[in-house]
Structure 1
């Protein structure tokens, strides 16, 4: 059975650029640990294309609680880089030009 997909939209707190840079290795390690399969992720950037202002991630996970629990433990949230996180269920359109499919249960990215 294929786990559901989730979009995680995170907004940074003001003035956390240096903290984000310092915690990035720990955040990246955390993202790849646990029960979630990260499929697509990256920083949201300011309109001028400069500094990061948040993160957008698409992950496969068994349920909303598992996704929320995983991100509650992310170093970016624990140490105050992210000021807000929103988790939404996601179903890609059959007409989308890019296909995101979750790995089979128990699979690794």
Structure 2
């Protein structure tokens, strides 16, 4: 299995859209819990939401994207852009070396 980082940037009206889709998004993540190594909001210096970071474990990028494609925050327009990169940890709890 590989790890993929999804760097999701919020678009216009994201505060309102987050509130509208929050419950559905939490339910979505709970149903796909086995795929998420970590997930949470990104905030600016004022503490305002500006996006989300998802770290997803999957066989390949296509499978990782399939986990996110129907996420209510994506479908509902919260995120205006998503960058996906493979993540290969070399230090820390997610490595064999610790």
**Aligned position for 2:71:** 74
Separation in 1, partners of 2:48, 2:18: 10
Q: CA deviation at 1:74?
A: 0.6
Q: For residues 76 and 58 of structure 1, do their structure 2 counterparts lie closer, same or farther at Cα, with a shift above 3 Å needed?
A: same
Aligned CA-pair RMSD: 1.8
With the length of structure 2 as denominator, give the TM-score of the two structures.
0.85
The DSSP-based 3-state class of the residue aligned with 1:67 is helix
Paired residues in the alignment total: 95
Please point out which of 29, 35, 44 is paired with 2:42: 44
> Which structure shows the bigger proportion of residues in strand conformation?
2
Separation in 1, partners of 2:8, 2:49: 11
Q: Does 1:100 align with 2:94?
A: yes
**Aligned position for 1:64:** 61
Q: CA deviation at 1:100?
A: 2.1
Which stretches in structure 1 are left out of the alignment for 5+ residues? 102-109
